[in-house]
Amino acid sequence: MTNSSPAPLSASSISIQKTDSPKPLVPNSQLLFGKTFTDHMLAIRWTQEGGWQTPEIKPYGNLSLDPAALVLHYGLECFEGMKAYKGKNGEIRLFRPEMNLKRMNLSAKRLTLPAFDEAEFLKCIEQLLKIEERWIPQEKGYSLYLRPTFIATQPSLGVTSSNEALLYVICCPVGPYYPTGFKAVSLYATREYVRAWPGGTGNMKLGGNYAPGLVAQKLAADNECQQNLWIFGEEDKITEVGTMNLFVYLKTKEGETVLISPPLDGTILPGVTRYSILDLARQWDEFKVLEREITMHEVCEAVQEGRVIEMFGAGTACIVSPIKKILYDGKVFGTGNIHLTC
Ligand code: PMP
């Protein structure tokens, strides 16, 4: 045994440097999603030789990166989105963080970034939250959004796995994701572009999945929709929404009430919120809960026959967003209680 094997990530050695100039809190009513950042961040460096270095909690600030860092050229980056809340008794609560950290390790693996010890990383995040406690809003509908981020920092214009990386976490107090608040949203079903495909990276949370989606998001906005609905294949299978998983609650032709969410076939992000909703709905045992393929044709037919009870998207940032209409193939389909509008 040598004592030079790369070090595992360990929370016990964490170093904490507090800011001398804490920022004033922003009133909840003025929070725009992802625009206000707290006083501190967590940063943990990794090198192939030395392994995981001392986790540091330090004042929030710019990163210093070599302009040749792999992340800046080939998009070697993955991230997570999770929320912390303060309970009535003042206790800080994270919502199922172990699911996010597990997903992050899967994303990292796809980028050949190193694996980290999820439990130790979580301990570091908990320390950061204790320090940022005053930033966790207590009002209903508000929370502290955490953004764990993992980037490849090795300077290299050769396309290669990175021998250096940085894992960091920043935090934002947030309220509603959409500027329209918690109101029902409109979706533009995207036929012009494809988000993910079999064997691709749609089931991972890579920055590289989102940049090419912006053009579809812009098209949706140009058509007065909050987000786009990703559909796939010749049958226009529904997959997911811009940053949400999708649910359709309907009556089948046979009169059975079912909650359907498209299956995790590798093209869809396995959402923590999706998992939790399916889990809860199965426990209620009031209607059938199905993870199965659903096409635009099936939804449009159900809308026209007045069988769609509700459609909604779900995700950490957007929470549960009811869907009021879908713009598809030049027609507007109203969902739920709002029926076909044209
Ligand atoms: N799909 C996509 C593409 C997303 O970006 C998100 C947000 N992370 C979701 C679904 C929902 O996932 P989660 O419930 O884990 O936030």
Structure-derived torsion over alpha carbons of residues 272, 273, 276, 281, reported in degrees to the nearest 10: -150
**Angle between the N-to-C axes of helices 118-131 and 97-110, in degrees from 0 to 180, rounded to the nearest 10:** 120
Q: Are 10 and 52 in contact (CB under 8 A)?
A: yes
Query: Does ligand 1 have an atom closer than 6 angstroms to the CB of 273?
Result: yes
pTM: 0.95
CA–centroid distance, residue 173 to ligand 1 (Å) = 18
Residue 32's CB is within 10 A of a number of other CB atoms, namely 13
CA dist 324 and 339 (Å) reads 9
CA distances to 117, 125, 155 from 8, in Å: 7, 16, 23
CA–centroid distance, residue 12 to ligand 1 (Å) = 31
DSSP lists the bridge partners of residue 93 as 85
CA–centroid distance, residue 274 to ligand 1 (Å) = 8
DSSP lists the bridge partners of residue 164 as 47
Query: Does ligand 1 have an atom closer than 6 angstroms to the CB of 245?
Result: yes
Q: What's the chain's Rg over C-alpha atoms?
A: 22
Q: What is the largest CA-CA distance in the chain?
A: 73
Q: What angle do CA 329, 334, 335 make, to 5 degrees?
A: 115
List the structure tokens of 68.
Answer: 């040749």
CA–centroid distance, residue 126 to ligand 1 (Å) = 22
Query: Does ligand 1 have an atom closer than 6 angstroms to the CB of 316?
Result: yes
DSSP lists the bridge partners of residue 148 as 169
DSSP string, 318-341: TEEEEEEEEEETTEEEE-TTS---
Query: Does ligand 1 have an atom closer than 6 angstroms to the CB of 274?
Result: yes
Task: Tell me whether residue 167 is exposed, middle or buried, using C-beta atoms within 10 angstroms of its C-beta: 0 to 12, 13 to 18, 19 or more.
Answer: buried
Query: Does ligand 1 have an atom closer than 6 angstroms to the CB of 271?
Result: yes
Query: Does ligand 1 have an atom closer than 6 angstroms to the CB of 81?
Result: yes
Q: Complex ipTM, two decimals?
A: 0.99
CA–centroid distance, residue 314 to ligand 1 (Å) = 8
Going by alpha carbons, the residue nearest to atom 5 of ligand 1 is: 243
Q: Please report, in tens digits, the pLDDT of each residue of the chain (342 residues total).
A: 456 789 999 999 999 999 999 999 999 999 999 999 999 999 999 999 999 999 999 999 999 999 999 999 999 999 999 999 998 889 999 999 999 999 999 999 999 999 999 999 999 999 999 999 999 999 988 999 999 999 999 999 999 999 999 999 999 999 988 777 678 999 999 999 999 999 999 999 999 999 999 999 999 999 999 999 999 999 999 999 989 999 999 999 999 999 999 999 999 999 999 999 999 999 999 999 999 999 999 999 999 999 999 999 999 988 899 999 999 999 998 875 443 332
Q: Are 238 and 262 in contact (CB under 8 A)?
A: yes
Q: Are 39 and 132 in contact (CB under 8 A)?
A: yes
